[in-house]
Amino acid sequence: MNKIHPTAIIEDGAELGADVEIGPNCHIGSAVSIGDGCLLKSNVVLDGQTTIGSENIFHPFSYIGGEPQDLKYNQENTLVKIGSKNTFREGVSVHRGTVGGGGETVIGDDNLLMGYVHVAHDCRIGNFNILANYTGLSGHVTLDNYVTLGGQNGVAQFLSVGSYVYTGAASLIDRNIPPYATGYGNRFEVKGVNIVGLKRQNFSRESIGEILESHRIYYRSELKNDEALRIIEETFGESSAVRAFLDFIYSVEGGGKH
């Protein structure tokens, strides 16, 4: 049974799943679909063509599905798609996509967006990511899985962040970050490998060693890019963990250093 506070506004056409709880002063738009077991604590706005999975939690003053902050936007019918078991803390904003950017902003499952995080138009966020307080993603940013962005991070447009990346607080991310990296800086620099995160996700000692050596060859040796990648391919190309690192560089960076 749904539990809806009498001060909540639910526009005609909105779809609610089972066991949805909507607190005081929430506003649900006519094109919004909410899955089973979601909780809107209070003063939450869900707007636009927004589809939400099950068991998501929305804290006060979060605003999901708002118009993109793009001057080219002209009220096109673009989307926000959200999976299940995500937590949106106070003041989080997620904007819908733009026609030029593919038309949808996508958030997967089991993500934590802490207070005042902003997800701009056409971003794609995978699963099990943590975005700490006041972090902002510009338009067209991609986060893979198990990424942790420190507080007050800013990510520039059209960038990609690979899985298992960990960034320090107050970092300005103006380049793509390959899987497993950790670093920080006003102009972000890769400083090493996110060993703690890999251990928490039960990577084997052997895989962690292969990742460490691959990062050393690519970032710390005097080899040119192509030569470093060739050696990594020859030495660790059969490793699935290193393969993810190589595939990211080839597909996102074209083999260039970050």
| DSSP labels, 85-136 | S-EE-TT-EEE---GGGTSEEEE-SS-EE-TT-EE-TT-EE-SS-EE-TT-E
Query: Quick check: is 102 catalytic?
Result: no
Dihedral of CA 241/242/245/247: which sign?
A: negative
Cβ-contact 96, 78 below 8 angstroms: yes
- Element of type H or E holding 190: strand 189-193
Tokens of 202: 């039960």
Could you tell me which residues are beta bridge partners of residue 93? 63, 118
209 assigned to active site: no
CA max distance for the chain: 66
Active-site pick, 122, 140, 151, 183: 122
Main-chain dihedrals φ then ψ at residue 85, nearest 5 degrees:
60, 35
Tell me the two tokens of residue 204: 């084997």
Kindly name the residue from 59, 95, 118, 121 that is annotated as catalytic. 121
Return the axis-axis angle of helices 205-215 and 240-248, rounded to nearest 10°. 30
* Known catalytic residue at 139: yes
How, if at all, do strands 27-28 and 9-10 pair? parallel
Catalytic residue among 53, 83, 91, 139: 139
Q: How far is CA 157 from CA 69, 103, 113, 119, 154, in A?
A: 13, 16, 19, 11, 10
Active site amino acids: 121-122, 139
